[in-house]
Structure 1
Amino acid sequence: MAKKQLVTTIKVQVKGGQATPAPPVGTALGPHGVNIGQFVQQFNEQTRDMAGTTVPVVISVYNDRTFEFVVKSPPAPVLLKQAAGVAKGAGNPLKNKVGSVTDAQVEEIAKTKMEDLNAGSLEQAKKTIAGTARSMGITVVG
């Protein structure tokens, strides 16, 4: 019997609990012969509690057309927009401020993102998140 080998790794961002066989999932998995319906069902089941939040997924596809996937934490800009209650960041963040978040909210986002960030401590993670907020036109207060 042939040994199971990794063929490719695919990264996509999908709304939690709302994956469909349509793009971007279908176009990413289709060329590799993966059962798209099976992936969609498993993904939606696993991310039901994150409904509506964009979540990055890393899918490992093997030579026997099986797959495994890892759901990462939502991107920092998505979490910041939710915390600030804004639809999108500022077009020109130096001149326009679209909202604000508290230091406690930044810390909570940093804790959520900690395993996906390359920060050595929570303080460094908070600085990274605060920098992302600044570049989106979101002010960090308190």
Structure 2
Amino acid sequence: MPPKQKKKVFESTLQLAAGEAPVAELGKMLGQTGVNLVEVKRAYDTATATRRGDIVPAVVTVFEDRSFELRLKTPPTAFLIRKALGGDGSARPGHDSAGVLSREQVREIAEQKLSDLNTADLDAAMRTIEGTARSMGVRVKD
């Protein structure tokens, strides 16, 4: 007889600093579920310890027996663009430029984000990244 499936009661995506998840933030999102917040923090911090300084989204699924599952995603596109630029986006996109990304930088970001995007085509992923960069006031040079 196959094992019973656990019943999912709550699922949420959290965007936290890698290796340094604040319990207060976890409490805001997961407090009502009754899951052990310290265990969630410990699991997240252990899984993301090698990526300190990044924002790493995690999908937390809580089951009816108050156990949980943690699935890590890639950092947000805007975070990766800001990291490649070494600064923030423009306060007035379309009017003021925040910087310039090279095609190679866009390709690196697209390769990193490919698993979380809704395409398997690298060129389509690059176009998606370029669109996000444009909306931040960042130009892409050929």
Under TM normalisation by the shorter chain, which class is it? Answer: over 0.9
Tell me the residue number matched to 1:111: 111
CA–CA distance in structure 2, aligned partners of residues 26 and 96 of structure 1: 39
1:45 aligns with 2:46: yes
Give the match for residue 122 of structure 2. Answer: 122
**In 1, Cα distance between equivalents of 2:127 and 2:27:** 37
Against the structure 1 CA distance between its residues 3 and 117, is the aligned structure 2 distance closer, same or farther, given a 3 Å change threshold? closer
Separation (CA, whole Å) in 1 of partners of 2:132 and 2:114: 14
* Contact 1:19/1:44, CA 8 A, preserved across alignment: yes
Runs of 4+ in 1 over 2 A off after TM superposition: none
- Which structure's residues are more often helix, by fraction? 2
Matched, 1:69 2:70: yes
**Amino acid of the residue matched to residue 31 of structure 1?**
Q
Matched, 1:91 2:61: no
TM-score when normalising by structure 2: 0.93
Deviation track 1:91-128 (CA, whole Å, cap 9, x = no partner) reads 21111111111100100100000011112400000000
* Cα deviation digits, residues 74-95 of structure 1 (max 9, x gap): 0000000000111x21121111
User: How many residue pairs get matched?
Assistant: 139
Distance 2:34 2:66 in 1: 6
CA displacement at 1:141 relative to structure 2: 1.6
Q: Distance in 2 between matches of 1:38 and 1:116?
A: 26
5+ residue gaps in structure 1?
none
Question: Per-residue displacement from partner, 1:46-77 (whole Å, max 9, x unpaired)?
Answer: 10111121111111100000000101000000
Alignment RMSD (CA, Å): 1.3
The question of 1:4 aligning with 2:6 is answered yes
Give the structure 2 partner of residue 30 of structure 1. 31
Identity value in percent: 37
Q: How many angstroms does 1:4 deviate by? A: 2.5
Q: CA–CA distance in 1 between the matches of 2:21 and 2:49?
A: 10
Q: Is the 8 A contact 1:17 1:44 kept in 2?
A: yes
